[in-house]
Structure 1
């Protein structure tokens, strides 16, 4: 009982810290995105900017993993099972990591994939494969190889993520799914990690009625296998062809608060670019975040920002608005 209490206290501490860090971190990354659009930056300055942005995103991923872990632990994430086109699911995941693979000169490809569907949850499958591919590329050295493949065994689909990375030490294989555990060679690689990714991935796979397994050899690489039920061909099947952007947006659990805000408002800015009298109402208790919204959208909208729902309701009773966030 004491051990469980200590575990819960540690989890709560990290999760609360993640909540507190996320908005300030978003306010670091968002201005960096804006600076990246400056064509007058010198090559040296752009290099520093890219370095800051890359490492900020690594920190954001760790924060997001903690918040995702909390959702799974509390069963806050509701499962929405549907049939998903397997070939396109893998292709969408692959495309997310093309640039990361190119930076390390890693060969990234899909080897084989049958024209089948799996019966699963789009958002959760996105997170599962994203975690596995992210780890594969992170721990595969320059010039290595990462492959995605799928096959069918009976009524189950087998999705494999294979890499030629650092592998897992034999003595530590039994601990790899433990909370906050990181293999010794992963720590020595100086790559950032929370020790939650694989544990979270296995919980999600099991929640979907699947199974996660792996084989690994230190110094040669690792192959993870996600076993999922096959789908049923129905009118409600999710066909990702031509819907890559929608799927990616719907299922990205690692997007920061600024990204969600910017994506929602940017579409409205595009549609109403010629209208300068429209009002944008933004609600948040963080003054810096409100200031950022004013600076970002002030040229296209009359921005009204308030710090509470009560203040927002008061404003809405007094006047009209176009968008509220």
Structure 2
């Protein structure tokens, strides 16, 4: 079944300047038919006049030719035939009705515009010639004696046709130039889009070859780029039955624990909150076999104006590395533990041997050296054991019920005098926190370290604020100062052993870079979390959080 063109399609063909010959002719024939019906109502004898019928017959034949002929495939010169015949038909009707109506001449403007649109300047000239020959010349011949009035009436139609033809040609020429510019712009844009697509495909291919997960987010936190490796990591952290989880729903927890990471402390969320960090450890999935650990780093993205445009977050799989380190630590701890028993026995027997009064001076001297070195070796083994326990974050804790707010209160009391002597306002806002299992002595050490740093790195006249309370089901402690602050890069290495910021070193403030790494180990050993936010010259805020059941 052949689909008939819709009314909108036919109208488009009527308005098209270079196609739709049949549609244009049907439109013109319809106007002539409408005019004929209106004339027939009052003067049917005029419509039945042979000249009027000849004109209608000419237009009918022209319409048939327009519909059956393949005019769009013929040479362009043939395009003038149909509108010229229409002008001839209008001329016959005008000649017959000249005494009662001259306005029928306006029908000739339709094929004139058609010719001007199709053949442009050539069409204008053909239209001018056809109207002059078919309408103006017969009018002058019938007039007999010529005067200026007759001449003006005869030339009015050709001049009108010339003006309308030139306006049509000019308007279409302007549209052609605009279309040409638009096509060039579209072509250029398509080329640029193609190049961008190729660059994006190249970038995606490069990212898919690296063995780390990469996700790029915009300023609002929406994912705009993710490589294949990151999709696999995302799948590992996706809860069963949830195909599109939000950041807070992902199965992310602290390595070695079943404690989920709070939403605001998750890597991508931290990056969205304009944090930059390095080596932030997270684990995915439920604890046990199949779980994976990742070291996450984030950097902020700036646009050409220096304004934040988003962030890039990189996930590196460190599961095997952590397992290797854990195995090494267990091996060293086991060897150290096994060495202590024979060393203790050796020292005991050396002490018994030294008690023998019959020993010569030389032998007693040898035994004394051996005893001294054995004790030194025992100290080294003990230190090695303690170092392995400490570095694994598994401090030997004596857990008893305690309150974080009370520990903070004791720290504030201890540092009140030091803050006063340094000219620093020490403010406390200690809201009670519930009891939780805590090694009070070790946690006191961690809080004291934070408060000590806050006072040490805050200038005279500054403020240090200590606050505790319950936030989103977590017991939280915050130590905020108005001190020297830190850059984003400095914050990424802050909890590393022996690390000190460049600002601290340049300020001649004493320190060894141990306190914060020790504080972090104490907090992690309590299944807690420590974080920092800081701006250079504006101060810092350290936050400790513990899940309270």
Alignment TM-score, normalising by the size of structure 2: 0.29
Q: Which of these two proteins has the greater Rg computed from alpha carbons?
A: 2
Greater relative CO (CA pairs within 8 A, separation 6+):
1
Alignment TM-score, normalising by the size of structure 1: 0.47
